[in-house]
Each structure stands twice: as C-alpha cells, then as structure tokens.
Structure 1
C-alpha cells in the first residue's frame, strides 16, 4: 500500500493504523507516544493520490467518503496526529519539486487586482446566512476571538476581541474610522457604540455582507454615521483618523502588500492610527494548502511578519505595537466546530453530506494547525507619527478596564444586534482580579 509507506515516513510521534480496501491493517508507529487514529481507505484510487499529493487527497478523500475514521477515532484525532508530525518531515527531492510547482501556481492565484477580488470573496462569504448563523456568535464575528479566560464562551471572547481592537485604536469622539473588510458590520457598529460622534465607513466586497451591514445600521438607528460600501479598499479616497482591518489581509496576497500599506498610509490623517489583525505563520511563508485553496479560500495567502514589515518599511508608517495571539484562534475554531457538529442535520439539509464533511474538515484542519504552531494571529498597530499613541501600553488596559465592568445595554442596542436570529450579546464580562490568558 503506497500511502502506508508515505505515512510511515511521516509518523514519528503517535500511532496511525491504515486499513486498506481489502481489510489489511498497516501500522505506522512513531518512536514516542502521541495521538492515535485509525483510518480506513475505501477508494482504491485514493491510495496513489495520498502518496503523491497528500494535502489535497486527504481532504478530498474525507469529503467524498473514500477515507473514513474507524474504531472510535475522530477527524480531529487524525488531523491532530498529522499536524503534530508535520514538522519532522524531511524534504526530499520530490517534495521540493512539488513545493516549487505550488509556488508558481500560488504566484498566479495570489494576483488580486480589483476586477478579480470580488469573485474570490464571494466564493466563501456569500454562502447561506443560515450557515454562518449556525456556528458564529450573534454578532457574526468571523475572525479570531480573544479569550481572557480559557472557559470564556464565544460571545464573551468575541466581545473581548472587539474591545481590545477599540482600545488599540485609541479612539476619540468625533473621529472618522475606516473598517477595511467590514464583514457583517459588527465591529463598525461596536466602535460607534463606544465613542460619541464616531463616523465609521466600512468596505466589503461581499454583496451579502454589504446588504446585512446596512440593514443592521438602519435597525440600530445609526445609519447616519455608520455606512457600509460595496467597494474595494483601493477605491477609497477619503481621509480617516483611524483604520482597522480584521481578517482581510489574508486575501490581499504578497504581490499586493506594498499596495495595501501604501493605501493605508495615504488614507490616514497626520495623527492617524491603524490596526491590522490577520492570520499569519510563525516560520517562513509557503503557498496555501492546496485543499484549502481549492475548496475554501481561493486566492488566499497566509502572510509572515517579515513580509509585513518589509512592506511597511516601504511606507512612512511607524510600527507602534505588535501582539501575537497564539492559541486564541484554536479556541475560536474549536467552538465553531462543535457548534457545527451540534447542527449537522441542519447543515446537511441546507447543502448535503459532502458539504458538511468539507466544512468539518476545514474547521478541524485549521484548529489543529493553530494547536501545533503552524499558524498564529498578529495585530500590528501603525501610526503616521511617533506620538500618535501613548508611549506605554497602559492606555490599552485602561480603556478595556473602563468598559469591562459596565453593563452592555448600549452595546446590545447598537453593536450587539442579533440580526433576528440569536439571543442578544451578554453583558460586558466582569473584570477579574487576575485574568488568565488563553
């Protein structure tokens, strides 16, 4: 069995059992204890594809039912086992050749001019409203939450994330804010609820998100100062005091980082501050996983900090703060995955069994990647001058502390709109003496 040979080379930690289509068992034993999983291969053609291109074949095999988990093993068990072993793989000639081909292909796919960008966004973000309501929080925050305590629920952790970003923006009454990649509008509405007379513009390329965002602003009675536009960020021409971008940089692509930060620099006023929140890699960047590229995020790319700083250095922006969120996204994805599992029948009824397995694979693979250090989230704060924010980080904690003990009546009315589908946001989490970091 060809795939058994490949997995034996991979597995140095833990234990994988492969059962071939004839029922024969192939044991792949690591030299030390670790995760365990048992997988049955039902599709004979999958064996060769697992050998030649495992990162695409594993996902497709699971989606199509040719690869199934056995003996009480779960998909998480299997992908956890794979991810914990990825770092020990030695790069042979064939692997390097395949990586080179992937790099050429990615260079083409990551080209993201204005006229192509909307189609790539629509592939993922214009899916059914009902699907996103199933697994996201009531404010539809489709990005990494912020867990002050490991037992925070999703609503609390997403509230924490929005407050953390607001604190880093160092907002003042009457300022103009641009939200690049504004999603369903939750962050923009949240910011407008915190600070008096804040004027917020959000831009998105998703028609569905654009419609929902403007409806929420109307329902909240703030459409006069919170506006959403179906527009590429490169088409924005106004000037802003603050710019925030959450989960959008991953869709920019390395060929466009200079363009992105150059536009941020042009749009910021002299005393301006920007915060960029994105998924990144700890080590050297590589082309996106082929399965993820094909089925989930076409044209996306996971950046490194080095790439960001190189592009930032080409502008006149100052990097004033950087924070790395390590396991926060793993915890976020865990909660999304469990919510989907609870509503499996609904998702299958909306689409089909194959779609559910695709979505389950996406969430599980991403969670295990964050668990084992392949991925992280970074928040970069930028300013037009050295004095735009205080000289120490105390102002961030002070801002959060002022809000953390308050009731969230205003936030429910403005930023916590449940869009008619879920219960309202809880009260602002109560401050503890020594919050434990996730």
Structure 2
C-alpha cells in the first residue's frame, strides 16, 4: 500500500516475476516498457493516476549502486551522442514527427499546434488556448508590415500562417526536417492562398546561409537541438538575424540541469532530445553576441495542454489502435501521462526568451504586449476559419 488513503484508489498488477524484477532494476525505462507490453496492468485508475501517486509518495533519493551506475552510464552516453559531428537530426525528427498525420489529428486542436498552449484566461478550451499562445508570441515579435520572418521548426504550418495573415506583406520562411509536416504545411498554405509569401522548406537550420531575417521564431524545437549544440544554434541565430531584428524562443525548460533525458522518452519518443534549464540556455545566447531582452516563465500551462491531449487521445483509442496497435497506443498514453506528470510534479515549465542584437529593437517596458494582443484579437475576429486538411 502506498499513500495515506485520502486519494483515489489505484490498483495495479504485475503479470510476472521477471516484469517485477525489470521494473525494480530500471523503473525509468522498464515501467513504461512493461506497461506497453501489457505486463504492468492497471486494475483501477489509469497510468497517470499511478505515476502521480508514486511521485507524491516517494523521493528521487532511492537509487542503489547498480541503479546509480546505470544512470551515470546513460548520462555519459547522451552527452557523447549530443556532441558527435554526425548529423542525425532528420532521422531523429522522422522517428516522431513522420508518424501518420491521422495520429496527431486524434488529439491536437484544429490548427495542429503540437506545443504548449497558453491558458490565459484560465479555464479556456484547448483551441482558445492555442490561439492565445500564437497571439502572445506574435505580440513579443513586434511584427511590422513587409518584414522577413524565419520560423525554425515550422510544424504543420499553423504559427507561420497566423503570423503572415496577421501582418500585411509579411514574408515567412518555415523550415522543418519532417517530410510529413512539410507536406501538410504546404497543402495548408496553398488552401489559404498564402504561397506567394509563405514558403515551407525541408531545411536544417545549421546549413542556412546568405540570408537575413527581421524576425526569427522557434516554438517547441529547441528541445531537439541537444545540449552539445546550444552554442552552434545561437551562433546561427546571430548570423541569420538582422542587426535590428528580434527573436522569440519558446521551449520546455526544467528548474535545474539534468544532463540527460528520461530513458523512456529518449528511446521511444524523442531520440537525442534534451530539456534545458534557463541557466543552461542563457550563457550560449550571450556567448553568441546576442542580447537577452525578456524572459517569461509559463508554469503549469503545459500540464493543462497535456491533460487535454491525453483525454482526447484516450477517447480515440480505437482509432489509434487501428492506425498502429495496442502496444503503440499504450506507449503514447504513457508518454502523454508521464509528460503531464513532469509539469505537475517535477516543476517543468515553458520559457519564452526574447532576443535581439540591439537594445533599441525592443521597448523599455512590457506594456506593448497587451496592446499588441488587443489588436491581434481584432484580426482573429475577422480571420477566415481554418480548413480541414484531406488526409
């Protein structure tokens, strides 16, 4: 028995002794694997309920010597892999983002926003919160008509199209390493008549040359850069950003360095990803000769987002199983549940960092954000509805 009896009852069953031994030996990886394989079974409650109960009733200081050795080995391996000169970015991206578009359609909002929503005001729907996220970032970008904008990690095109439609004459280049996302982005841009000034390319940011952009935005991509590449990332930003330009970086962050990614996430979900702390992110920005103009922390907003995603995904279990299989469904349920737990109980959060080269590129107060959001709401009220993509 775990807990004081005051919470909801969670009952689990381990199917065999080997599964129990594997979980005890390496819970970070093997709990998820045994759940995927149907050998760790929830008799009452769901996997998030179980993970939250464990987190609230245990500490991280329970490692024995073999477990500690395993953790140190994983840290060393991930640190090495993040610094290798071999470019595996496209393969790593494809592992996750080139899954069937129909999978993501099961749980994302109508604009296919696969990053943290902004629940301001509290209690709004997922769709409203994703619009609020785009609005908040657009306000911080200080967009002006006819500017050139680069989006690093353009997803399914929703952010780029929002920025372009909100700003007269804006010319946007969105880059991605996902062929499936590229296909959808281009289709959506064509459907909305934006191909003359919104283009999406299969492009690694590291090989871009010879261009300058007035604005750069990156949402939910920095987590894939890898801790060994932070300096290279921001040096490239410095190279691509105009002298009076502004960048907004939106990324998951953690309260302190961890040096390695969760073993289950690394193996099954985001190979070679790494969630940085603010303290790990700011020094490379400064070393690149860039100025940090604003840092905002959004706590718990991703927990709310993930809760909505997980509930929608579970409600569409039959469709997910039909796309892949039961094991895949449990893998993604575990991923969504574990991620939500990370934001509710492990103090993960979203950081938004505004960056420039020139201290006069941004105002000397934050009042402009609310003013810009008010104007953007007026644009949203007249924006044409989003069309459904034919998959």
Equivalent of residue 204 in structure 1, options 156, 163, 176:
176
Aligned 8 A contact 2:79 2:259 in 1: no
The root-mean-square deviation of aligned C-alpha atoms, in Å, is: 1.8
Q: Is the 8 A contact 2:116 2:301 kept in 1?
A: yes
Deviations 1:384-424 (A, max 9, x none): 11110100001011100123255533253xxx343247xxx
Shift of 1:121: 0.2
Q: 2:351 maps to which residue?
A: 378
Aligned 8 A contact 2:166 2:379 in 1: no
1:84 counterpart residue number: 56
Q: Deviations over 1:162-219 (max 9, x none)?
A: 0100000000011000000001111000000111100000000001111111121111
What CA distance in whole angstroms lies between the structure 1 residues aligned with 2:146 and 2:18? Answer: 63
CA distance 1:321–1:417, shift in 2 (3 Å): farther
Match of 2:145 in 1: 173
Alignment of 1:270-419 (within 5 A): 270-405=243-378, 408-412=381-385, 416-419=386-389
**CA distance in 2: counterparts of 1:210 and 1:172, whole angstroms:** 26
Could you report, residue by residue, the CA deviation over 1:319-372 in whole angstroms, capped at 9, with x for unpaired residues? 000011111000100110011111111111111111111111110110011011
Secondary structure, counterpart of 2:121 in structure 1? coil
Unaligned runs of 5+ in 1: 1-26, 422-438
1:230 lines up with 2:225 in the alignment: no
- 2:185 matched to which residue of 1? 213
Alpha-carbon displacement from aligned partner over 1:83-141 (angstroms, at most 9, x marks no partner)? 33454534554443222111112123324657311000000000011111110011100
Deviates more, 1:279-288 or 1:341-350: 279-288
Normalised to the residue count of structure 1, the TM-score between the two structures is 0.85
Of 25, 28, 39, the residue aligned with 1:55 is: 28
Report if aligned partners of 1:193, 1:411 keep a CA contact under 8 Å in 2. no
Alpha-carbon contact 2:172-2:197 (below 8 Å) kept: yes
**Does residue 1:156 correspond to 2:133, yes or no?**
no
- In the alignment of these two chains, the number of paired residues is 390
| TM-score (normalised: structure 2) | 0.95
Residue 30 of structure 1: how far off its partner (Å)? 4.5
Change (3 A) 1:209 1:86: farther
Distance 1:233 1:154 in 2: 30
